[in-house]
Structure 1
């Protein structure tokens, strides 16, 4: 698997996952989890344990925090408590990963449209993005509930390509989870693992069958310029 390779076909667009790829949202998600745990007098979770699970959203984090005891609670209530706190504190600690701003600026300078396809609910995504002016020129955004299907199904990615009128076979998709790579591969895109994201230390990303694995956001420029 090459780490530096120039594309052999014209690049139409670059599409990204959000959490763990463009934005480091883990500490705000972890705070929401710990708020719910504290409400039920449960032991809170430290960052080193919740960060690798952050991409799995409310379900993954609540399962992490409550463990087997989650069956003793109404999950829908727990999820709503989690989401309410998160929505009200959505950008307290969240920040762009180093290099993301420069990467997006480079894409815009080269007239390459870029967009976001995330499993985060559309309402939360729309609430979060305006905090970061670097996202002002995002060409398309598809949330986890925008359509009836979400990643790893390729439909959200294909829908995004239709919205900005680009050939999906000439696009890159970048994400930090197996479902991102599965969706991108199913859409016949060139896929990149964002190794800086929320990936367990013992996870072997080589098995995901991505086209490339990159260590930091600006590494993507090696495939564009």
Structure 2
């Protein structure tokens, strides 16, 4: 029996923010410079949570092994950093959800594998995200998801007595981390999943089709 959460933690890309288009723009910038075919939103959307490596693997395929990966990665990150919030927006319903958490004094935070310099730059564009209680990035600790340590550390920062923390994410590593941290794990089916059907093998506690589905538990 699920009880009302007294804290919520969220993944960033594909859970709070629709960042795929700006990540795709960075990939296409690199592909264009190398005179390679560009990729479409439909092709890269569900790869977006896999970061620079996943996106470059999509764009260059097996050819990537014979190229200077680190140079391409740096080109990708530089373009993304300089154009980090051109097409990025909240997923529909996220603002209502976060405002409701604030209204009910339920603390919430962000735990992402995105590097800290990109995480901090991105959330500056969203005042609502700046109001969260804790932000843990992919390089904030030696460990990153699917290790549970980032989630447990974030929970410690919230300083809750007898925490009943829920973690919401759109990748298998998110659910593995939440389960290992003994948190209620929630799959955001609206995010960058390889397939909704596959996500049912991740052993999550809850699946939601849209952010506002969580209001039923509040």
TM-score range, shorter chain: over 0.9
Structure 2 match to 1:68: 62
Alignment partner for residue 79 of structure 1, among 70, 73, 80?
73
Structure 2 match to 1:156: 150
Is 1:145–2:128 an aligned residue pair? no
Does the CA-based 8 Å contact 1:158-1:168 persist in structure 2? no
| Runs (4+) off by over 6 Å | none
Alignment partner for residue 21 of structure 2, among 27, 34, 56?
27
- Counterpart Cα distance in 1 of 2:54 and 2:164: 33
Alignment partner for residue 57 of structure 1, among 51, 60, 64?
51
Does the CA-based 8 Å contact 1:169-1:187 persist in structure 2? no
* Structure 1 length-normalised TM: 0.94
Structure 2 match to 1:123: 117
Helix, strand or coil at the partner of 1:151: coil
Cα offset, 1:202, TM superposition: 6.4
Q: Which segment is superposed worse, 69-78 or 90-99?
A: 69-78
Is 1:171–2:165 an aligned residue pair? yes
- Counterpart Cα distance in 2 of 1:116 and 1:220: 16
Structure 2 match to 1:42: 36
Structure 2 CA distance for partners of 1:167 and 1:44, relative to 1, 3 Å? farther
Cα offset, 1:135, TM superposition: 1.1
Structure 1 match to 2:178: 184
**1:157-210: CA deviations, max 9, x gaps?**
011011121368510000000000000000000011000000124642111000
Q: CA RMSD in A?
A: 1.4
Is 1:97–2:91 an aligned residue pair? yes
Does the CA-based 8 Å contact 1:161-1:168 persist in structure 2? no
Alignment partner for residue 213 of structure 1, among 207, 213, 217?
207
- Counterpart Cα distance in 2 of 1:168 and 1:122: 29
Q: Which segment is superposed worse, 161-170 or 81-90?
A: 161-170
Helix, strand or coil at the partner of 1:14: strand
Aligned length: 218
Does the CA-based 8 Å contact 1:178-1:208 persist in structure 2? yes
- Counterpart Cα distance in 2 of 1:212 and 1:45: 33
- Counterpart Cα distance in 1 of 2:216 and 2:28: 40
- Counterpart Cα distance in 2 of 1:47 and 1:77: 24
Does the CA-based 8 Å contact 2:7-2:163 persist in structure 1? no
Does the CA-based 8 Å contact 1:17-1:118 persist in structure 2? yes
- Counterpart Cα distance in 1 of 2:194 and 2:96: 27
